[in-house]
Structure 1
Amino acid sequence: MAPFLPITELYSSPSQQIYSFRGADWALLSNFLPDNLSIRTIRENYRSTPEIVSSSIHLAGPDASEMFSTRDSLGIPVKIYKSNRDSVHLTVQTIASIIKEWEQRGIGPDKIAVLTRSSNNAQIKRGLTHYDVPLAEGSFFASEVVQGALSHLRLALYPTDPKALDMAMGFPGPALGMLTRSLLDKERISWDELAKLISNDEFAAAEQAKALRMYQRHVYYQNCLRKFRDGNSLPWIIKDLLVPLRDTLMKEGVFAAANEIEQLAALSGEFDSLSRFMDYLRTEIEGVKYTEDGVTITTIHKSKGAEYQGVIIPGWIAGNIPVESDDPQTEQNLAFVGMTRAKDRLALTVPGSPPSPYLRGMRETSVIQV
């Protein structure tokens, strides 16, 4: 590194540090830097309007506390949408109305992003499709986990349905090999064929193990459903039923499986029966809306480095923005990063109370009661 120090430029923005970085030591790093080191603070913000910069500046650290926008004002304040209760349905309705309003003012869906503090944003994605809002990224309901979940839940509820068994074994496994299927000489696998497979030595041991695993899974499913009949909540049972699916997908490298199953369980809380929840899942899977020109829905973490003409950040209540953390500075940085992704328009929602402490000190805002 030493030969390059005379021509080395280091850029740092502590106000945008959104991952707790352990072990960093400026004093140690400075030992490698020349004594004639020059430090210059870049204060210009070329992205956001003066109103957006003014609203976010109180969240910035010393490195950005004097930041100013180089752009002309559009005369549009940051809008804060407040409601008296924490309702996902009301939040989605508010977000959808904001998107529709922006579209009427010439901001296309592909220029808009909804940034959430948590990755558990499936309810927002689902809700927006009901308002005919096109999504830019693959819908939550198009994921392997959700599609696999439907087949496995169907098998749990209707174990004698050969189609349910065939689907559960075909995706995401344990799938029988083509040779095994040809030897069984059946278009669709049934429990009788699996029993034949287990008891007949002409089949490979690995294939017999797959069949045995499905019988074990059947017993597991029935035990789970028995707990549901004994009074356990549907979200608890959904999570329990999908443990084998989660484990299979995790082994295949689908590491988001655990989180998506948590989201599925949360969604099921709106239903009073497993069959109704399954009907809902099937409808959502068949009605996935996806377009490259749609609205981006992602987390604030994933949005770092990106910019959008319009940004909506829901959930500005205490406990969500910021979450309770042993690193409050990182939480504050995260809010700052989210707000400064916006170029022209920024909207925040406050679903209930207590409101986020970060709202105190915001300037250039307009509060709207919903």
Structure 2
Amino acid sequence: MEMSMKLITAGPGSGKTQRLASDIQDRLDEGVSPYMIMATTFTREAAREIAERLGGEVSIRTVHGLGYWLIRLARRVRGEVVPRVISEEKAMAVMERAAKELDVKFIEPRRAMDDMARIRERGGRLETLHPQVQHVIERYFEILSSENLMDFTGILDEARKELADPDLQAFLQGQHLFVDEGQDISPVTEWPILEVLMKGSCEFVMFASPSQQIYGFRGACWEKLCSLFPEDLTIETMNQNHRSTPEIIRAASPLAGPDADTMVPVKESLGIPVLAVDVMNPEMEADFVGRQIAEWLDQGIEAKEIAVLARVHSMLNIIQMALRMRNIPFQIVGGRKSLFHREEAQAVLGYLRLALDPMDDTVLESVIDYPPCGIGTRTRNELRRDGYLTWDHLFGALAHPNKFRKQVISRIHRILDLREYFEEVVRSGLPLMQAIARIIELSEIPTYLNSEGDFQATIALNDLLKLSVEFPSLNRFIEYLDAEVRRPREVEGVQLSTLHASKGREFCGVIIPGFQDGVIPLDGSELQEEQNLAFVGMTRAKYRLVLTLNRSLPPSRFLSKLPVQVALWPPH
């Protein structure tokens, strides 16, 4: 079976995410089983958003998450142990160990890691590297293999190998496959996986915006990817922009490619021009940013609806100082959240309470679908009806398994097994920190986070684990953790972000500092991708957009293309 591919080019603000979720919901309404729908997107946050729109009924994964699912599927059928995915920090430790074992004196492990990443992500050959670097990398892979470990890129390597199995291909036939953020798919490491799935699918739809390709440094290349698409490809364009005012769209369009340079604004004009503000030096630029934000706040715009988007993270330091001077609250996007406000911490709390009291009904809502396994709002309602989820509901489902998907019954059995495993851990007499580490490991939360590449969340889990050393008992640690999870969150403030981290978000007002050569575009970076990045940043704005520059560097070469109103500050 081979199905034609449909490509939907969808520029910023076109309603792409809504369309993707709507198309999947249509398949569910037509009676397609959630098991027969696959969907991938670029980040775990985007996957969560789409899954929530679908009530959690369909598993939305990153491509790495999909790869790890395929590996688990194949290995478990063969009765083999699934490799453990290691963090970037652990991978570096393995590379350092490899260099030390070979007594290599003139090769830095970090350089070997970078060379290896370049070869794997861009399809190069190991033989092109220095012989000693080759030997270190070969030893690195030997160590991973001998200890049944897998690094992040290795997920895709192993998934491609597993998909060569005709039996696995046959099992996966007939899927409805939806791919989000296609412009950031690597033609070398990710497309070969999707291509195999496409050839056996009954529907294959990719959403992409080439004008927003900003991850070339990770191997994405739209031109090369397009050369691999089937000849009978059909294309649909979504060119309406529901996000930004006509002034913002007109200002950003000169930076867009053919997929987005004819965006049609849906919103009416507010008569607010896009500004490019020229100031004397970086300090005055930061001061202007603070003044502009204060003005927007006075106009009634909420702080969380204002964003400062910088090309590099270090540029935000001086902005933070300017905001502190005005007592304006702010948040660092992509910075480490409070340990206790992460969903992983709340799930860990649920599992620990389950270990302490195996009959505690109140934990079920927090653990039934974490790690995510497709038990969403609809399934929970089927299980619990109008009340809270209880053990009686789960036992009732087991008594009538034909009323529920196999996935649900399997998850219930897994939770019951965990109760027994946790009870053994509690009775084992292990030191508290070791016991909690074992409970977290059995929950499979670390495996899920590493397979999705969310190493920041893994670090947060480790930090949480370290806190337990201060407590005399599991009960006392749970009391402490419960109090912290319930503590009110910090006041939301102005969003400080890099341009990369702003992808997929939108704000009422956006300021982009450093709109000058050497910064935007950044020295040494690929020019087209820098233009895409500037386009992404400008199209995050809904109503107000201000670009700022200072005279430490010439104005950005992109600025001359843009129909913006240039102003000096302070005004003469």
TM-score range, shorter chain: 0.5 to 0.7
Report SS of the residue matched to 1:354: coil
Corresponding letter in the other structure for 2:307: A
Report SS of the residue matched to 1:136: strand
CA contact (8 A) 2:278 2:566 kept: no
1:246-257 aligned within 5 A: none
Please name the residue that 2:559 is paired with: 359
With over 3 angstroms needed to count, the CA separation of the structure-2 counterparts of 1:253 and 1:360, relative to structure 1, is: same
1:39-58 aligned within 5 A: 39-58=235-254
Corresponding letter in the other structure for 2:282: S
CA contact (8 A) 1:55 1:78 kept: yes
**What is the distance in 1 between the residues matched to 2:317 and 2:545?**
22
Please name the residue that 2:295 is paired with: 101
The answer to whether 1:64 aligns with 2:260 is yes
CA contact (8 A) 1:136 1:291 kept: no
CA contact (8 A) 1:53 1:67 kept: yes
CA contact (8 A) 1:136 1:292 kept: no
**What is the distance in 1 between the residues matched to 2:506 and 2:515?**
20
CA contact (8 A) 2:307 2:497 kept: yes
Report SS of the residue matched to 1:40: strand
Q: CA deviation at 1:350?
A: 1.2
Please name the residue that 1:307 is paired with: 506
Report SS of the residue matched to 1:8: strand
Report SS of the residue matched to 2:331: coil
Please name the residue that 2:323 is paired with: 128
Corresponding letter in the other structure for 1:102: W
The answer to whether 1:342 aligns with 2:541 is yes
With over 3 angstroms needed to count, the CA separation of the structure-2 counterparts of 1:5 and 1:105, relative to structure 1, is: same
Q: CA deviation at 1:75?
A: 0.5
**What is the distance in 2 between the residues matched to 1:67 and 1:345?**
18
**What is the distance in 2 between the residues matched to 1:101 and 1:25?**
41
**What is the distance in 2 between the residues matched to 1:357 and 1:19?**
21
What is the CA deviation profile of residues 224-252 of structure 1, one whole-angstrom value per residue up to 9, with x for unaligned ones? xxxxxxxxxxxxxxxxxxxxxxxxxx9x9
With over 3 angstroms needed to count, the CA separation of the structure-2 counterparts of 1:36 and 1:111, relative to structure 1, is: same
With over 3 angstroms needed to count, the CA separation of the structure-2 counterparts of 1:37 and 1:138, relative to structure 1, is: closer
With over 3 angstroms needed to count, the CA separation of the structure-2 counterparts of 1:29 and 1:55, relative to structure 1, is: closer
Q: CA deviation at 1:26?
A: 5.7
TM-score by length of 2: 0.36
**What is the distance in 1 between the residues matched to 2:222 and 2:213?**
14
Structure 2 residues without counterparts, runs of 5 or longer? 1-196, 340-455, 461-488
CA contact (8 A) 1:137 1:291 kept: no
With over 3 angstroms needed to count, the CA separation of the structure-2 counterparts of 1:365 and 1:6, relative to structure 1, is: farther
**What is the distance in 2 between the residues matched to 1:127 and 1:138?**
17
Q: CA deviation at 1:111?
A: 0.8
Identity %: 38
Q: CA deviation at 1:38?
A: 1.5
What is the CA deviation profile of residues 82-110 of structure 1, one whole-angstrom value per residue up to 9, with x for unaligned ones? 11x3232x122101110111112221111
CA contact (8 A) 2:311 2:498 kept: yes
**What is the distance in 2 between the residues matched to 1:361 and 1:25?**
24
Q: CA deviation at 1:140?
A: 8.6
The answer to whether 1:320 aligns with 2:519 is yes
Q: CA deviation at 1:2?
A: 4.2
What is the CA deviation profile of residues 16-41 of structure 1, one whole-angstrom value per residue up to 9, with x for unaligned ones? 111115375766766563x5432122
CA contact (8 A) 2:213 2:220 kept: no
What is the CA deviation profile of residues 88-143 of structure 1, one whole-angstrom value per residue up to 9, with x for unaligned ones? 2x122101110111112221111101111001122221231112111134999999
With over 3 angstroms needed to count, the CA separation of the structure-2 counterparts of 1:81 and 1:364, relative to structure 1, is: closer
Report SS of the residue matched to 1:11: strand
Instruction: Quote the RMSD (CA, aligned, Å).
Output: 3.1
**What is the distance in 1 between the residues matched to 2:513 and 2:225?**
40
With over 3 angstroms needed to count, the CA separation of the structure-2 counterparts of 1:31 and 1:5, relative to structure 1, is: farther
**What is the distance in 1 between the residues matched to 2:332 and 2:259?**
34
What is the CA deviation profile of residues 278-310 of structure 1, one whole-angstrom value per residue up to 9, with x for unaligned ones? xxxxxxxxxxxx943210111111010000000
Report SS of the residue matched to 1:73: coil
What is the CA deviation profile of residues 156-200 of structure 1, one whole-angstrom value per residue up to 9, with x for unaligned ones? xxxxxxxxxxxxxxxxxxxxxxxxxxxxxxxxxxxxxxxxxxxxx
Please name the residue that 2:358 is paired with: none
**What is the distance in 2 between the residues matched to 1:329 and 1:92?**
28
1:78-157 aligned within 5 A: 78-83=274-279, 85-88=280-283, 90-120=284-314, 121-137=316-332
Report SS of the residue matched to 1:64: coil
The answer to whether 1:369 aligns with 2:569 is yes
Report SS of the residue matched to 1:293: coil
Report SS of the residue matched to 2:237: coil
**What is the distance in 2 between the residues matched to 1:334 and 1:102?**
25
TM-score by length of 1: 0.55
With over 3 angstroms needed to count, the CA separation of the structure-2 counterparts of 1:143 and 1:92, relative to structure 1, is: farther
With over 3 angstroms needed to count, the CA separation of the structure-2 counterparts of 1:5 and 1:351, relative to structure 1, is: same
With over 3 angstroms needed to count, the CA separation of the structure-2 counterparts of 1:143 and 1:123, relative to structure 1, is: farther
**Aligned positions, number:** 226
Please name the residue that 2:271 is paired with: 75
In terms of mean alpha carbon deviation, does 360-369 or 72-81 score higher? 360-369
Report SS of the residue matched to 2:254: helix
Bigger relative CO (Cα 8 Å, ≥ 6 apart): 1
With over 3 angstroms needed to count, the CA separation of the structure-2 counterparts of 1:25 and 1:317, relative to structure 1, is: closer
> Where is the helix percentage greater, Structure 1 or Structure 2?
2
What is the CA deviation profile of residues 195-226 of structure 1, one whole-angstrom value per residue up to 9, with x for unaligned ones? xxxxxxxxxxxxxxxxxxxxxxxxxxxxxxxx
